[in-house]
């Protein structure tokens, strides 16, 4: 690599009249950059501490910097960030008042319940977020009808089987849920159904109301000493287990993914699926509905059950083959069932299962307590508002969860990563197509101590957005990379420095490509650009095998020239005559009077004519203009 004898000429300056680096006219990458810091972020710039106040569009932009940048050109979005118009949140099912109040502080809230699919599709392109419970099917059609406006779907509860996560991801829409606030309610409902079923409470109640007094008919079974199999030992399952232990039951559980010590800690033994269902008197279902759990309780598995077993389902109707359950009830394999959830909700009015004498039913009431609904509403409102502000929700279902402290630490590197991707892709020439991208992180931290997912996503964004109409964010970056056949690999290089600083530099390598600026090809034959964060500002520090030193603001001109006096002046004059403000300039040479690379940061895009005149300077061997 050429010696880093760079000469920095002009200190970067804030454009006249700008009080913040992040004025609305600023590029998408700036917007993306600051969105990580939750509210305020102090960046020591050019010897002075500049307070960056995050306006909503800026914060939000992290989720969708390019879209926001486009939106900023529209009246609606411009107003949104000014506070005149605000984001719109559609709430399609009943949500607790406390949650609605939180939403209303931040957005316009449209509570429209019982929408048909057509009505939902009709509204959704006017909404930035949608909040649902289990009754709204958020299908691919809905995401497509959103035409890119919908940024967040909030599921006010746990199960997200009613949301097409793949379609959400493909459309860059974040899905968040509220996974904890209804756990106890669901567990209590499970216990309520268990005890009610064992003692025929619902049937006896209906009988009395019909004027009967049937004491012999409704003799129940005792729970104490009986075996309960908890199928799915997650949040709800373990709370059910804890309560069932209190009722004197012997509790076993099946969950392929649950840690045995967590079960042991509450006196529950984890067993295989077959052992659980074949030894239990009561089987309580608490697993999610997924392709692998769909209809897992079927004819074959009912046959394995202890004769006369009793089943409780507060999870999802779809985990049971309902026709098979009916057969098992009728042939006595299963003596009773208590169901809160159904494959189709509401089930058909003539459902034989609902009408069955030995089946106790409730209309999906597991989460329906005053307390749980209040909690869920607040949990989801905070998650959705946070996501609209660009914070990464801790309950994101289709995006990597990056803790907020990691985000704020990595914020300047995130900007750097996007800019390096953007630069690298603009250096590609010759229609070679990009296949392999390698991101190299030089860091003194151990790999476990540096979460690079967000950086990789932003490199992808930087590479993909300039060459496509796609917008890329953390939600869809990996998906889009895969779609475009981009293999993104990462490499860590140990840097002997302070672990206080997360990264020394980031390199982006594009393999097997030609470049329109031959000097960008390194000795290894790849386009390589490397950057570093200095004083909170991303800098380009090498291109190909040449060292440079230029802050990555505005745009960039790279020239390779024969090192000789007067070059800076000649290029500077042409730019000056074109009213293009130079923000930064560095020259790096292999040796005096040999080859040199001049990197010039410019605020404006030079006119074609100015670029042509620069290209005509005899000593300039090649040059390229890059938009950052």
Ligand X SMILES: O=C(O)C(=O)COP(=O)(O)O
Ligand Y SMILES: NC(=O)C1=CN([C@@H]2O[C@H](COP(=O)(O)OP(=O)(O)OC[C@H]3O[C@@H](n4cnc5c(N)ncnc54)[C@H](O)[C@@H]3O)[C@@H](O)[C@H]2O)C=CC1
3-state secondary structure of 149: coil
Measured from the CB atom, the residue of 61 and 315 that comes closer to ligand Y is 315
**Active-site pick, 55, 67, 149, 316:** 316
The minimum distance between CB 273 and ligand Y, in angstroms, equals 7
Is 539 assigned a catalytic role? no
Return the residue of 12, 56, 99, 157 that touches ligand X, per CB under 6 A: 157
Q: Give the sign of the dihedral formed by CA 254, CA 255, CA 261, CA 266.
A: negative
What pairing do the DSSP bridges indicate for beta strands 227-231 and 282-285?
parallel
Q: For residues 573 and 342, what is the distance between their CA atoms, to the nearest angstrom?
A: 75
Query: Which stretch of DSSP H or E encloses residue 312?
Result: strand 309-313
Q: Closest separation between CB of residue 318 and ligand X, Å?
A: 12
Per-residue binding letters, 68-107, with ligand X (x by CB under 6 A): ----------------------------------------
Say how many C-beta atoms besides its own lie within 10 A of residue 469's C-beta. 6
CA atoms within 13 A on the CB side of 108: 12
Question: Widest CA span of the chain, in angstroms?
Answer: 109
Q: How many alpha carbons fall within 13 Å on the CB side of residue 581?
A: 11
Q: 422 vs 417, 463, 623, 625, CA distance in Å?
A: 9, 5, 17, 12
**Three-state secondary structure call for residue 386:** helix
Per CB under 6 A, the list member of 67, 133, 151, 613 interacting with ligand X is: 133
Q: Which of residues 303-322 bind ligand X (CB under 6 A)?
A: none
> Nearest distance from residue 237's CB to ligand X, in Å?
13
Nearer to ligand X, 313 or 586 (CB): 313
43 contacts which partner out of ligand Y, ligand X, none, CB within 5 to 8 A by kind?
A: none
The whole-angstrom separation of Cα 132 and Cα 394 is 18
Nearer to ligand Y, 54 or 258 (CB): 258
To ligand Y, the closest distance from the beta carbon of 382 in angstroms equals 18
Q: Which is nearer to ligand X, 133 or 149 (CB)?
A: 133
In the complex, least distance from residue 176 CB atom to ligand X, rounded to whole angstroms:
13
Going residue by residue from 166 to 185, which x/- string records binding to ligand X, judged by CB under 6 A?
Answer: ----------------x---
Of the CA atoms within 13 Å of residue 565, those in its CB half-sphere come to 0
Which residue of the set 86, 133, 364, 589 is catalytic?
364
Is 593 in contact with 600 (CB distance < 8 Å)? no
Task: Name which of 328, 271, 339, 269 is nearest 304 in CA terms.
Answer: 328
Query: What is the CB neighbour count within 10 angstroms for residue 19?
Result: 10
Among the listed residues 345, 491, 577, 621, the single catalytic one is 345
Nearer Cβ to ligand X (162/200): 162
Which tokens go with 173? Answer: 């829409």
Rounded Cα distance, 464 and 442, in Å: 23
Query: Least distance from C-beta 42 to ligand X, angstroms?
Result: 40
Enclosing H/E stretch for 249 = none
Can you point out the beta strands (E) in 463-554? 487-494, 505-510, 514-515, 527-534, 537-543, 546-551
Q: Give me the residue label for tokens 């609606």.
A: 76
CB of 43 to ligand Y, least distance (A): 39
Candidate ranges 150-158, 442-450, 489-497, 594-602; the one touching ligand X (CB under 6 A): 150-158
Residue 156 binds: one of ligand X, ligand Y, none (C-beta under 5 to 8 A by kind):
ligand X
Distance of CA 324 to the CA centre of its chain: 38
Bridge partner residues of 138 (DSSP): 163
Q: How far apart are CA 153 and CA 187, in angstroms?
A: 25
Closer by beta carbon to ligand X, 28 or else 182: 182
Q: Which does 234 bind (CB under 5 to 8 A by kind): ligand Y, ligand X, none?
A: ligand Y
Stretch that binds ligand X, among 133-141, 274-282, 378-386, 539-547 (CB under 6 A): 133-141
Minimum distance, C-beta of residue 179 to ligand Y, in the bound complex (Å): 6
Residue 542 per-residue DSSP state: E
Kindly list the residues in this chain that would bind ligand Y in the complex (CB under 6 A): 157-159, 179, 182-183, 186, 231-237, 254-258, 286-289, 292-293, 314-316, 340-341, 364, 366-367
Residue 313 beta carbon to ligand X: minimum distance, rounded to whole angstroms: 11
316 is catalytic: yes
Q: Choose, by CB under 6 A, the member of 103, 107, 146, 156 that binds ligand X.
A: 156
Tell how far CA 219 is from the center of its chain.
52
297: DSSP letter:
B
Position 336 contacts ligand X (CB under 6 A): no
Phi, psi of 507, deg, nearest 5: -115, 140
Minimum CB–partner distance for residue 190 and ligand Y (Å): 8
Q: Which does 606 bind (CB under 5 to 8 A by kind): ligand X, ligand Y, none?
A: none
Q: Residue from 57, 154, 159, 386 that binds ligand X (CB under 6 A)?
A: 159
From 134, 313, 505, 507, residue interacting with ligand X (rule: CB under 6 A): 134
State which residue has the least CB distance to ligand X: 157
313 binds, among ligand X, ligand Y, none (CB under 5 to 8 A by kind): none
Task: Map the footprint of ligand X across residues 344-383, applying CB under 6 A.
Answer: 364, 366-368
Residue of closest CB approach to ligand Y: 234
Which of ligand X, ligand Y, none has residue 288 at its interface (CB below 5 to 8 Å by kind)? ligand Y
Helices (H), 344-476: 352-355, 370-388, 404-426, 453-464
Q: Which of residues 432-491 bind ligand X (CB under 6 A)?
A: none
Per DSSP, 396 falls in state B
The secondary element (H helix, E strand) that includes residue 154 is strand 152-155
User: Between residue 24 and residue 43, which ones bind ligand X under the rule CB under 6 A?
Assistant: none
CA distance 329 to 334: 5
Minimum CB–partner distance for residue 402 and ligand X (Å): 25
299/490 with CB nearer ligand Y: 299
> For ligand X, how many residues bind (rule: CB under 6 A)?
12
Q: Which two tokens stand for residue 190?
A: 């499970």
Cα–Cα distance measured from residue 472 to residue 475, given in angstroms and rounded to the nearest whole number: 8
Catalytically annotated residues: 316, 345, 364
Enumerate binding residues for ligand X (CB under 6 A).
Answer: 133-135, 156-159, 182, 364, 366-368
């Amino acid at each position: 690599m050429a010696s880093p004898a760079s000469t920095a000429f002009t200190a970067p300056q804030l454009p006249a009249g700008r009080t913040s680096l992040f004025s609305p006219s600023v590029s998408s990458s700036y917007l993306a950059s600051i969105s990580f810091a939750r509210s305020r972020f102090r960046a020591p710039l050019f010897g002075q501490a500049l307070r960056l106040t995050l306006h909503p569009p800026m914060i939000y932009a992290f989720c969708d910097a390019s879209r926001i940048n486009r939106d900023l050109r529209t009246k609606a979005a411009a107003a949104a960030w000014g506070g005149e118009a605000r984001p719109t949140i559609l709430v399609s099912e009943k949500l607790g008042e406390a949650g609605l109040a939180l939403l209303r502080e931040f957005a316009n809230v449209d509570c429209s319940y019982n929408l048909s699919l057509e009505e939902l599709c009709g509204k959704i392109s006017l909404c930035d977020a949608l909040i649902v419970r289990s009754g709204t099917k958020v299908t691919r059609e809905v995401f497509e009808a959103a035409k890119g406006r919908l940024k967040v779907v909030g599921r006010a509860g746990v199960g997200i089987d009613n949301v097409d996560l793949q379609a959400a991801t493909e459309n860059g829409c974040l899905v968040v849920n509220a996974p904890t606030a209804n756990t106890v309610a669901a567990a209590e409902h499970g216990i309520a159904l268990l005890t009610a079923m064992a003692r025929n409470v619902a049937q006896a109640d209906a009988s009395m109301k019909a004027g009967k007094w049937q004491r012999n008919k409704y003799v129940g079974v005792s729970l104490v000493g009986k075996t309960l199999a908890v199928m799915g030992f997650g949040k709800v399952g373990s709370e059910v287990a804890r309560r069932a232990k209190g009722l004197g039951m012997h509790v076993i559980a099946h969950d392929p993914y649950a840690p045995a010590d967590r079960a042991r800690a509450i006196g529950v033994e984890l067993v295989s699926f077959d052992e659980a269902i074949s030894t239990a008197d009561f089987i309580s279902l608490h697993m999610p509905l997924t392709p692998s759990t769909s209809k897992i309780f079927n004819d074959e598995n009912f046959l394995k059950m202890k004769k006369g077993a009793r089943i409780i389902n507060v999870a999802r109707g779809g985990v049971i083959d309902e026709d098979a359950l009916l057969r098992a009830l009728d042939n006595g394999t299963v003596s009773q069932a208590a169901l809160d959830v159904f494959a189709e909700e509401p089930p058909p009015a003539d459902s034989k299962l609902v009408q069955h004498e030995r089946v106790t039913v409730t209309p999906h009431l597991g989460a329906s307590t005053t307390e749980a609904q209040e909690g869920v509403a607040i949990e989801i409102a905070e998650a959705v508002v946070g996501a609209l502000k660009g914070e990464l929700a801790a309950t994101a279902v289709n995006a990597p969860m990056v803790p907020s402290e990691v985000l704020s630490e990595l914020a300047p590197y995130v900007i750097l990563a996007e800019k390096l991707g953007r630069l690298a892709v603009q250096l590609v020439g010759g229609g070679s197509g990009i296949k392999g991208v390698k991101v190299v992180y030089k860091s003194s931290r151990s790999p476990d101590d540096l979460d690079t997912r967000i950086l990789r996503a932003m490199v992808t964004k930087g590479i993909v957005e300039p060459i496509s109409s796609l917008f890329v964010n953390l939600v869809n970056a990996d998906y889009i990379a895969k779609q475009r056949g981009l293999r993104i690999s990462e490499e860590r290089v140990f840097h002997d420095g302070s672990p206080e600083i997360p990264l020394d530099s980031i390199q982006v390598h594009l393999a097997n490509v030609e470049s329109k600026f031959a000097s960008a090809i390194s000795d290894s034959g790849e386009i390589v650009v490397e950057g570093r964060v200095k004083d909170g500002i991303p800098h380009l520090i090498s291109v190909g095998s040449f060292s440079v030193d230029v802050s990555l603001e505005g745009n960039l001109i790279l020239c390779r020239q024969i090192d000789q006096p007067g070059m800076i002046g000649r290029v500077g004059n042409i730019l000056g005559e074109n009213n293009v403000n130079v923000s930064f300039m560095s020259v790096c040479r292999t040796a005096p009077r040999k080859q040199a690379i001049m990197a010039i940061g410019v605020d404006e895009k030079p006119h074609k004519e100015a670029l042509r005149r620069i290209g005509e300077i005899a000593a300039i061997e090649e040059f390229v203009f890059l938009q950052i």
